[in-house]
Amino acid sequence: MTGQVLLTMRGISKYFPGVRALENVDFTLRAGEVHALMGENGAGKSTLIKVLTGVYPKDGGEILMDGKSISPSSPLEAQKCNISTVYQEVNLCPNLTVAENIFIGREPRKAGRIDWKTINRRAAELLKQLNLEIDVTKTLDNYSVAVQQMIAIARAVDVDAKVLILDEPTSSLDENETSRLFDVVRGLKKQGLGVVFVSHFLDQIYELCDRVTVLRNGELVGAYEIEKLPRVELISKMIGKELGDIQSMGKNDAAERGEVLIEAKGLTAFGRIKDFDLTVHKGEVIGFAGLLGSGRTETAELLFGVAKPEKGTLKLGGSEIRFATPLDAMHHKIAFCPEDRKVQGIIGDLTVRENIIIGLQAKNGMWSHIPMKEQERIAEEYIKLLQIKVSSPEQLIKNLSGGNQQKAIIARWLVTEPNLLILDEPTRGIDIGTKTEIQKMVIRLAREKQMAIIFISSEIDEMTRTCTRLAVLRDRKKVTELSGDEIYPDRVMAAIAGGV
Amino acid sequence: MNQIKKMTSHHLFLPVFALVLLLIFNAFATPGFFSIQIQNGQLFGRIIDILNRASILVILSMGMTFVIATGGIDISQGSVIAISGAVCCSLIGGAGDGTTQMPLLLACVIAVIVCGICGVWNGFLVSKLKIQPMVATLILMTAGRGIAMLITKGQNITVYYKPFTYIGNTIPGSPLPTTIFIAAAMVVLVVLIQKKTSVGMFVQAVGINAEASHRTGLKVTSIIFMVYVFSGMCAGIAGLMESSMIAAADPNNAGLNMELDAILAVALGGTLLTGGKFYIGGSIIGAITIQTLTTTLYALGVSSEQLPVCKAIVVILICLLQSEQFKKMFAGKAEKKAVTQI
């Protein structure tokens, strides 16, 4: 039931020093529709949203809300214009109660004092509308990210929103949580809200959205009815080239295994994984498949010394080893590219060069300094090899796009010449072009350098394409292993779900 | 226009600009400010005085810079200065006939080692026990003077052994005060460490993102530990100079509030107190600027009681100049002006 036009952005332009972030972009949102905003990294999605919510002032164009021209200069003003945003990283206070989080800054008062009864009652009612029955007097950190996400939505909706912007809301949710979130969004849609949905997940766009606006390099490609736009076409519109490349990539069907590299037996750590067995051979790509929280990352961290196993043994080249720190694991030629790029990966205020060589430097120790010339040579070699887009190796890494940051972190680990490379969600939140590049690189490294790779991803397509073997995890246990012909999406899905 | 912007956004701009401003002011306000006399092959003059006193602050601020870069702070430096003086002076002894109980060099080395141990304590609290740096170093800040008092048995020890006074003054025959040579040597040492090792990068990495640093193989705990030890040793060396200048150990007043000047020097030099990127060069110039300011104010007849007020005004100015919000306000006004002119 898409209704009349709610929000119109016309000819929006935004420039940053030396960069044209948006050029003459139009965007229309109708009441009662879920509208996807898509584009590769750097296409201008987030800039457009930040212009709409008043984070950035626009350099050109106009915004019409219900036919009236608005120009919010802060998120608060945008909220007053009935535009609410829920960001990718939930920005609530984990140490306050759910109810406090919903009403913070606009607490109902009685006789000059905060009326806690009303706050708690109204918060519970509000969440009930979203089919969420939780104790609103508990602090927020008692609840999963998915629930927190919904609380953020509840808060956003309660401030009389007509337009709700969801910026990558599902990137840290598993499938169950996602479908719950979608139910909530569908409910809001019925109430006549216009929802702007930003996501990298194609499946979700097709499941939830009515229309899609595609941006590329800061320009509008077009707005389309999602039902009339086949996936392949959507992707080719986003990356601006024909798609044969992605489709013809095919599977990694390297059949032969190298010698045994590392052997885990009965690895157990409370709250992480139980009795985990795995043998890793040289030159194979092993996928850890499973839902979020099934123990994928947690197991990988045991192999890298981030956490220590309580029971079980780890054998490397026949002899038993124990890692107290990541540095120990690095000395045994293991590398681990973490899931949370921003918090665990990049060192934002250092340059790309420093970020690339810091792993090797840490391995060498701080007193055996790599000479500057050598550092520059290494950095340039890997920037070229992985096609990292930088203005210079001396650019700060925080100023790169997500995909390029990811490549730089992968470069950091390749520089250390590992025998085992663990990649935890290496393609999350990055554009399709770069995704394909990373997948290809994984296969190439395994084939040509006989590197063993553990590949963790939530995208099953990606796993079936790149992995030669899959360890399927469920509820912090390894339930089965798939290899060869068994690796195809339906089979993997069934294994994860438990219908083996 | 762009070049001006480039220049003003350089991290050394603020301290150098402040220093130049002060020097220009002095050139007019204080007659003979820049004049240097030579007596018996020794240089005298206000500039030399400033450099002499600033040397102490330069050394302190270098130690402080590394601590602040890791996101920490060391407010015990002033008290450690007192401990250093107390150890050294009581080892040399206050014999009235001008003899020493121990070779001077050995006494100095022991004093610096003791201060290094003070740093070990701070580093242990911060890196191992994860106590907030301000609180952890507050312990030694308050206890330090008591410890110094214990070492001197509750008295100020006056040293009559002549060579001891050379540290903070001038060795006969040398054109410049010894302090300047010591500070210069420390600067060279730190620059060498910066250029020839990865200490600088590692300290910054820890200050920017400790979690990512740990996962990249950095020994975060030992790096943090190390910077506090270094800070303690810097305070130890500064303490030797300070007590040598007055040829006595003064547990109550030696190095009083010096840590605040050191923090100010670091901030003035462009290093953010939140940690991360640090600028040793900025800290050094910042230290000299602050000493110039102090000397200037004394020369103008400001009493030592009123001095903190003037310094406070400078601190406010620095904070304003470093504040993004303030810059925005300023930029906003300039923009509006530009618009109305059109």
Segments making up each domain of chain B, as ranges: 49-299
Tell me if A370 and B198 make a contact (CB, 8 A cut-off): yes
Query: What's the CA gap between A211 and A204, in Å, rounded?
Result: 13
Phi, psi of A106 (to 5 degrees): -145, 45
Nearest to B211 among A343, A362, A412 (CB): A343
Element (H, E) at A202: helix A202-208
For residue B194, give the chain A residue with the closest CA: A369
**HSE (side-chain half, CA atoms, 13 Å) at B164:** 34
Which residue, among A301, A369, A374, would best test binding to B if mutated, counting the most B CBs under 10 Å from its CB? A369
Give the burial class of A400: count Cβ atoms within 10 A of its Cβ; 0-12 exposed, 13-18 middle, 19 or more buried. buried
Please name the fold of domain B49-299.
ABC transporter involved in vitamin B12 uptake, BtuC (1.10.3470)
Choose the mutation target among A303, A331, A347, A375 for the interface with B, i.e. most B CBs under 10 Å.
A347
Give chain B positions within 8 Å (CB) of A334.
none
Place of tokens 């800039």: A47
Does the beta-carbon distance from B205 to A366 stay under 8 Å? Answer: no
**Average of pLDDT values for A397-408?**
88
Residues of B in contact with A306 (CB under 8 A): 215
Report the length, in residues, of chain B. Answer: 342
Report residue A286's pLDDT band, with 50, 70 and 90 as the boundaries. Answer: very high
Q: Is the pLDDT of residue A104 over 50?
A: yes
User: Chain A residues with CB inside 8 Å of B220's CB?
Assistant: none
Q: What is the pLDDT along chain B (342 residues), one digit of tens a residue?
A: 567 766 777 778 878 888 898 899 888 888 888 888 888 888 888 889 999 999 999 999 999 999 999 999 999 999 999 999 999 999 998 888 888 889 999 999 999 999 999 999 999 999 999 999 999 999 999 999 999 999 999 888 999 999 999 999 888 888 899 999 999 999 999 999 999 999 999 999 999 999 999 999 999 999 999 999 999 999 999 999 999 999 999 999 999 889 999 999 998 888 988 899 999 999 999 999 999 988 888 888 888 888 888 888 877 887 787 777 777 777 666 555 554 444
Neighbouring residues of B246: CB distance < 8 A, sequence distance ≥ 6: B168
| Structure tokens belonging to residue B179 | 């302090």
Angle between helices B104-123 and B220-246 (to 10 degrees): 140
Using a CB–CB cutoff of 8 Å, tell me whether A330 touches chain B.
yes
pLDDT bracket for residue A89 (50, 70, 90): low
Beta-carbon pairs below 8 A across chains A and B: 71
Q: Do A325 and B215 touch (CB under 8 A)?
A: no
* For chain A, percent of residues with pLDDT exceeding 70: 93
Q: Which of B203, B208, B216, B227 to mutate to probe the A interface, most A CBs <10 Å?
A: B216
A326 and B196 within 8 Å at the Cβ level: the answer is no
CA distance linking residue A406 with residue A3, whole number of Å: 41
CA pair distance B99, B2, nearest whole angstrom: 63
Phi, psi dihedrals of residue B69, rounded to the nearest 5°: -60, -30
Quote the minimal CA–CA distance from A202 to chain B in Å.
Answer: 30
Sequence-separated (6 or more) residues with CB below 8 Å from residue A400 = A352, A388, A389, A390, A408
Residue A71, chain B, CB below 8 Å: the answer is no
Query: How far away is chain A from the Cα of B11, in angstroms, using its nearest Cα?
Result: 15
ipTM value for the complex: 0.85
CB atoms B201 and A343 under 8 Å: no
Residue ranges and CATH numbers for the domains of chain A are 5-246 (3.40.50.300), 260-497 (3.40.50.300)
Q: Copy the structure tokens of residue A390.
A: 């930088």
A418 touches chain B (CB under 8 A): no
Which residue in A330, A350, A363 is closest to B205 by CB distance? A350
A164-185 residue pLDDT tens: 999 888 766 777 778 888 888 8
Residues 6+ apart with CB under 8 A from A226: A36, A205, A206, A209, A210, A211, A212
